[in-house]
Amino acid sequence: MDIRKPNRFELKKVLSLSPQAVFDGKLGEVEPTKEKIEQLVNPLLEKGSYYLIATENDQLMGWILMGTSKDQFTDMMNGFIYELFVIEEFRGNGISKLLMRAGIDHLKQDGYSEIRLSAFEGNQAIKLYEKMGFSIRTITMSLQL
């Protein structure tokens, strides 16, 4: 398996599959359009965020999107993992862990001393994040009216 930055064609494929990634990551509570994904992702990419993809035999298996985030209280810049996704047929093979490790390594090389991410409660990836050393820092709560 190869983990690397995507070429233009591969980036186009990632962006076309991102609505499913967001749908899965938000546990089916959000069903974004392709246009909404572009509104969210394009500014990140323009500001230096980037994808790493996992491929084998030229087949896309998954990706991680990472960049920066500014702490609202300290103004400190942190590495941030915006998206982690493995295509369903490739799940259960440790690809998420490999992508996370590669993402952490890249963000560390980019000079960040802290990496953050957000996840919906109940998302199975939280177990992976905790195994990799992430801990809960904030909790966002919701009240439906």
Q: What is the CATH number of the domain that holds 53?
A: 3.40.630.30
Is 139 inside a domain boundary?
A: no
Number of residues in the chain: 145
pLDDT for the residue numbered 142 = 78
User: Do the beta carbons of residue 80 and residue 66 sit within 8 Å?
Assistant: yes
Is 68 inside a domain boundary?
A: yes
Is 140 inside a domain boundary?
A: no
Taking residues 90-102, what's their average pLDDT?
96
Q: 125 pLDDT exceeds 90?
A: no
Is 43 inside a domain boundary?
A: yes
- What are the two backbone dihedrals, phi and then psi, of residue 8, each rounded to the nearest 5 degrees? -60, -45
Give the number of domains in the chain.
Answer: 1
Give residue 85's domain range.
2-131
pLDDT in tens, 16-43: 998 888 777 665 566 777 888 888 889 9
User: From edge to edge, which strands make up the β-sheet containing 77-86?
Assistant: 2-4, 50-56, 59-70, 77-86, 115-117
Is 144 inside a domain boundary?
A: no
Is 120 inside a domain boundary?
A: yes
Is 141 inside a domain boundary?
A: no
